[in-house]
Copies of this chain bind each other. A is one copy, B any other.
């Protein structure tokens, strides 16, 4: 039942004008005997009382709960109204009473974009009368006058369909002719009246914003690849053509997103050398994060990689492999960026007239400068950066990994993401902020589709459980979508520096099963682990030099990753993050959890070793159910998705072994 509707009087947050000095006098406060009889409170889902949007993916029902109440004993009705932000008309779904004063309703958007929803509540005058009639009938205290009051209501109902109005008229006539109140008590009439009478005391809640994303926003395996290292000949600068040749290998591992660090021209002035040396040696390629050279800026391609046509070919070829390209969006400019000459006002100058390069005292970044968001021309900077994104969208890019967003104004990102998604609602933004929790959540709230996380450093069972409980709890689950990276060009965590295969497998399984979106930075599959001593950083970082690798070198875990990604694609339970329950396994060095898809037809139990010894333990799965043929059944067995081995459940669980030196994890499908 979906009806188009007009607007009603909205609830306001602040009831009075507090700016004028009030004289002590009577009737200072607005007297609104008519409006807002209903209170609509504790609405779920909502983020900061509707200040920020809730996030869902397409096809996922948006279930809305609220406390709805008014004074007295009258019968109330409530509806959920919703629309795309660009629509004029509201769509309507009825809400149903749950318990006490709690109501629930749901709607399912089938297009990506920005939406808003609200709740309307009103008094059902006829249902109130009918409820009283029922009670009086039972008490034997019904009078003719009671019936006449109901008939009176019939004569006032004028808004319904022709059919409804006919039912009402017929009931009215029959009652007048016979005086028999039974004619007023039929279910047909009650339904006709519900749709035909005035919605008395109609009250509307605040509006709550909502973003509907495409499924990739929630589920995807990311592969970070540095294009210039993809040449087959060691020492040669890789090109987009080389990248294309690498695609079958990456696609075979089951990745969905090919993420490239910046592909733009690299500055020459103050260029960084190998291992972040202040001075580059001849031939050093520089950091791709020093964007801009005489060859162009943010909307250009580094000439050594190829040209824009080559890039478009890479995008197209990725598509053929069911992958898509994600680009890095880093706001800073090298000292050779065209903007420095074109728009000197966009940058901050020092008392001697020089441009102020980036710094975070006492650190100085002599090879880059940041646009000055406090500049008088900041509006132009905002627009130019938006246009950079729109340019790459026009080249077929729909995913952007944003570098260090927490060092640029939050209101800028909020605006930029809205602007881009208004035209291109399928565009995904990943926030690369490894910052304080409040900042990371703030970026997710303002609109970033996905976020980097602290997962990279969380290794103990208690801290993994605590962190995931936080991310999948309220309200975080409604706005923060984690993307679990096991490593990045900047981060080689201590636990990987031993190069043990079981640890690499354990980490990638944790990432790929705890979070629906995860990623690896290339070299992980080869167990690369040479660190700067005492630091969680790669020695000879690819950020400052070309790398050459044997992508099939012995000991690689590509086959393991392939199987992992296949399990993800075959089990809907692993394509979402929030339905997660940890299992109480006695062995503290094994983490176990259950995930379920929305319909609960796919229920998966996962166990992962956090230490290298052999583990034999009891897997408690008491009371676990799964849906089959539309009904919930108890789980009676679990099946290893790799080996197909079946363990029947006995005494509510099963005894399971893990040998980390073979496979540090097991994924079980639950059978009913």
User: Residues of A at under 8 Å CB distance from B?
Assistant: 7, 13-15, 18-19, 21-22, 24, 26-37, 39, 41, 48-51, 67, 69-73, 85-88, 100-101, 116, 131-133, 135-136, 138-139, 141, 145, 148-149, 152, 200-201, 206-207, 350-352, 354, 359-362, 364, 373-374, 378-379, 381-383, 386, 390, 405-412, 414-415, 418-419, 422-423, 436-439, 442
> With a CB–CB cut-off of 8 A, which chain B residues contact A49?
13, 48-49
User: In the assembly, what is the distance between CA of A206 and CA of B136, in Å?
Assistant: 50
- Which of B7, B73, B101 is in CB contact (< 8 Å) with A438? B101
User: In the assembly, what is the distance between CA of A360 and CA of B136, in Å?
Assistant: 10
> With a CB–CB cut-off of 8 A, which chain B residues contact A36?
411
Give, as a whole number of angstroms, the nearest-CB distance from A50 to chain B: 7
22 CB < 8 A contacts A-B: A13-B13, A14-B51, A15-B414, A18-B85, A24-B86, A26-B423, A27-B383, A27-B419, A29-B422, A32-B415, A33-B379, A33-B381, A37-B410, A39-B442, A49-B49, A69-B436, A69-B438, A71-B408, A71-B409, A132-B361, A138-B362, A200-B374
Give, as a whole number of angstroms, the nearest-CB distance from A432 to chain B: 14
> With a CB–CB cut-off of 8 A, which chain B residues contact A86?
21-22, 24
Report yes or no: B152 in contact with A351, Cβ–Cβ below 8 A: yes
Q: Which of A36, A200, A362, A437 has the most CB of B within 10 A?
A: A362
Known contacts A27-B419, A28-B419, A361-B132: A373-B13 contact under CB 8 Å? no
User: In the assembly, what is the distance between CA of A34 and CA of B377, in Å?
Assistant: 10
* Interface contacts beyond A14-B50, A33-B378, A41-B442: sample of 7 additional A-B pairs, CB < 8 Å, sorted by A: A13-B49, A18-B85, A26-B423, A32-B411, A33-B381, A33-B409, A152-B351
Report yes or no: B50 in contact with A437, Cβ–Cβ below 8 A: no
- Which of B18, B24, B30, B69 is in CB contact (< 8 Å) with A207? B18
Report yes or no: A85 in contact with B207, Cβ–Cβ below 8 A: no
> With a CB–CB cut-off of 8 A, which chain B residues contact A51?
13-14
> With a CB–CB cut-off of 8 A, which chain B residues contact A410?
37, 39, 70-71
User: In the assembly, what is the distance between CA of A73 and CA of B67, in Å?
Assistant: 42
Known contacts A409-B37, A409-B71: A419-B29 contact under CB 8 Å? yes
User: In the assembly, what is the distance between CA of A67 and CA of B409, in Å?
Assistant: 16
Q: What are the nearest 10 A-B pairs in CB distance?
A: A139-B362, A33-B378, A132-B361, A49-B49, A135-B361, A101-B438, A148-B351, A135-B362, A22-B86, A29-B418
Report yes or no: A141 in contact with B362, Cβ–Cβ below 8 A: yes
Q: Which of A19, A87, A100, A411 has the most CB of B within 10 A?
A: A411
User: In the assembly, what is the distance between CA of A557 and CA of B538, in Å?
Assistant: 80
User: In the assembly, what is the distance between CA of A107 and CA of B229, in Å?
Assistant: 60
User: In the assembly, what is the distance between CA of A201 and CA of B34, in Å?
Assistant: 42
Report yes or no: B437 in contact with A69, Cβ–Cβ below 8 A: no
> With a CB–CB cut-off of 8 A, which chain B residues contact A383?
27, 31
User: In the assembly, what is the distance between CA of A362 and CA of B7, in Å?
Assistant: 37
> With a CB–CB cut-off of 8 A, which chain B residues contact A139?
361-362
> With a CB–CB cut-off of 8 A, which chain B residues contact A390?
26
User: In the assembly, what is the distance between CA of A383 and CA of B28, in Å?
Assistant: 12
> With a CB–CB cut-off of 8 A, which chain B residues contact A350?
145, 148-149
Give, as a whole number of angstroms, the nearest-CB distance from A672 to chain B: 37
Give, as a whole number of angstroms, the nearest-CB distance from A282 to chain B: 27
> With a CB–CB cut-off of 8 A, which chain B residues contact A132?
359, 361
Specify the chain B residue showing the minimal Cβ separation from A378.
Answer: B33
> With a CB–CB cut-off of 8 A, which chain B residues contact A415?
29-32
User: In the assembly, what is the distance between CA of A133 and CA of B139, in Å?
Assistant: 85
> With a CB–CB cut-off of 8 A, which chain B residues contact A15?
414
> With a CB–CB cut-off of 8 A, which chain B residues contact A39?
410, 442
User: In the assembly, what is the distance between CA of A357 and CA of B398, in Å?
Assistant: 67
> With a CB–CB cut-off of 8 A, which chain B residues contact A135?
361-362
User: In the assembly, what is the distance between CA of A21 and CA of B422, in Å?
Assistant: 13
User: In the assembly, what is the distance between CA of A35 and CA of B148, in Å?
Assistant: 61
> With a CB–CB cut-off of 8 A, which chain B residues contact A133?
361
Report yes or no: A382 in contact with B70, Cβ–Cβ below 8 A: no
Report yes or no: B41 in contact with A48, Cβ–Cβ below 8 A: yes
Give, as a whole number of angstroms, the nearest-CB distance from A381 to chain B: 8
User: In the assembly, what is the distance between CA of A15 and CA of B29, in Å?
Assistant: 27
Report yes or no: A360 in contact with B73, Cβ–Cβ below 8 A: yes
User: In the assembly, what is the distance between CA of A29 and CA of B379, in Å?
Assistant: 13
> With a CB–CB cut-off of 8 A, which chain B residues contact A362?
135-136, 138-139, 141
